[in-house]
Amino acid sequence: MNFKTLYLPILLISNYYCAQTNDSLFIREAFNLALKEGKAYADLKSLCKDIGPRLSGSAEAQMAVEWSYTKLKSYNFDSVYLQEIKVPHWERGTKEAGWIKSENGELTKVNLLALGGSISTNGILEGSIVEFNTLQALKEASKSEVEGKIVFLNQAMDETQINTFKAYGGCYPIRGDGAVEAAKLGAVAVIIRSLAMPIDNHPHTGSMHYDEGVDKIPAAAISTADAEYLSELLKTQKAKFVLEMDCKIFPDATSYNVIAEIKGVENPNNIITFGGHLDSWDAGEGAHDDGAGVIHCMEALRILKESDYKPKNTLRVVFFMNEENGNMGGKSYANWVKEKGEVQIAALESDRGGFSPHGFSCDGSSIYLNFLDSIAHLFMPYEMYEFDKGYGGVDIGPLKQIYEGIPLFGFIPDSQRYFDFHHAPSDVFENVNKRELELGAGAIASFVYLLDKYLDTLKQ
């Protein structure tokens, strides 16, 4: 028996356990840096309080670009630069107002927000209310039931869904398609129950669309508490809704994706992109959606730099602009890197809030799902157990259309409270927990480290 036959298996096992030990130590240090010396919470506070809500095309969105560029430069990454893009520019206008008018003329003021992209009411609009509990029920209605009326879509999120994103996806169509389907039947406006889990007074906005050849009608969301009240009222009497909104649509505006990099020492032309979206809706401060996501990724890159980690591949953080109402940041970025001839080897997104980390999902082949399985045990000490096939993210999604086979990874935090705040006035800095935010940054830094270290071995 020669030396190789006798000792090679022992050497391979020894090297494997040595690598695993080194990985565990690195991950522990990444979490320590996030929790003890972290910048995430202070940076998120500054983004939320010094800049505020950041709807595409707004002055606040432009100030967020300048804030991001300055902040990224302050951390001395290898390069920081802007990618110019064009984005939609919609404004809410004067504050919206809405009332429920009972049969005897009694008025009840509701908590209301225009849906993003809605047209204005051109003054006060009043109409009788007709209620539907699903979009499908509206589609099956006759024109005589709807024509000249205000449609009320009152579909609640499914409380039996453990993952609240599945509940959100189940009733998203009432917001995205409600105005089109109501207009087809002659409605003069549509109001929807906010896509939210709790019963409270916070209305939740979000994007909607119009179809070519279908009349455009105003669209708004009322709070879940108001939706409950209105639905109960309609069981005993007819009612009207009074609505005023002054929304405006402007020509596309110039904006920017904000980018920072640490260059790879072995394969600098291979890019791992990770980030979140810098824009937010205008009702709150965009703290969870998606201030937490961009701060997660900036902090992760800072932690890797502070750890003196020398990546094999170039690590690129992107603060995408305009995820909320167009995804022009994600689309423009994908086309831009294609035109440059870049080699994009993986991408990761954080856009599910700043809550406690649970794991990572993968939109990719079995090779990358096996990778998730192989690293899952390294995160168990941090109470992270979700490593499975799933969604990457809106911003990084367009990369998949250009780079065949590219794995897209999504950061998975706890989902139970996300739709308390999503697109609502309550999405403010005070509703982000410092420790949970820091744990998320540590998790992303650790995941990017493992991805960079082992990605090239997965293709062999």
Residues marked active site are found at 323
The DSSP element (H or E) to which 244 belongs, if any, is: strand 240-244
Cα(233)–Cα(310) distance, integer angstroms:
64
| Close Cβ partners of 213 (under 8 Å, ≥ 6 residues apart) | none
| 88-125 exposure pattern, b = at least 16 Cβ within 10 A, e = fewer | bbbebeeebebbbbeeeeeeeebbbbbbbbbbbbeeeb
Cα(284)–Cα(114) distance, integer angstroms:
14
Q: Is residue 277 a contact partner of residue 326, using CB atoms and an 8 Å limit?
A: no
Cα(34)–Cα(39) distance, integer angstroms:
8
Q: Is residue 253 a contact partner of residue 176, using CB atoms and an 8 Å limit?
A: no
Cα(317)–Cα(337) distance, integer angstroms:
14
Cα(210)–Cα(217) distance, integer angstroms:
9
Distances (CA, A) of 50 to 68, 134, 280, 325, 450: 12, 40, 14, 23, 34
Per-residue tokens: 279: 């824009």
Q: Is residue 448 a contact partner of residue 271, using CB atoms and an 8 Å limit?
A: no
Angle of helix 3-36 relative to helix 366-379, nearest 10 degrees?
Answer: 70
- Residue 128, Cα to own-chain centre: how many angstroms? 36
* Alpha-helix runs per DSSP H in 37-58: 40-46
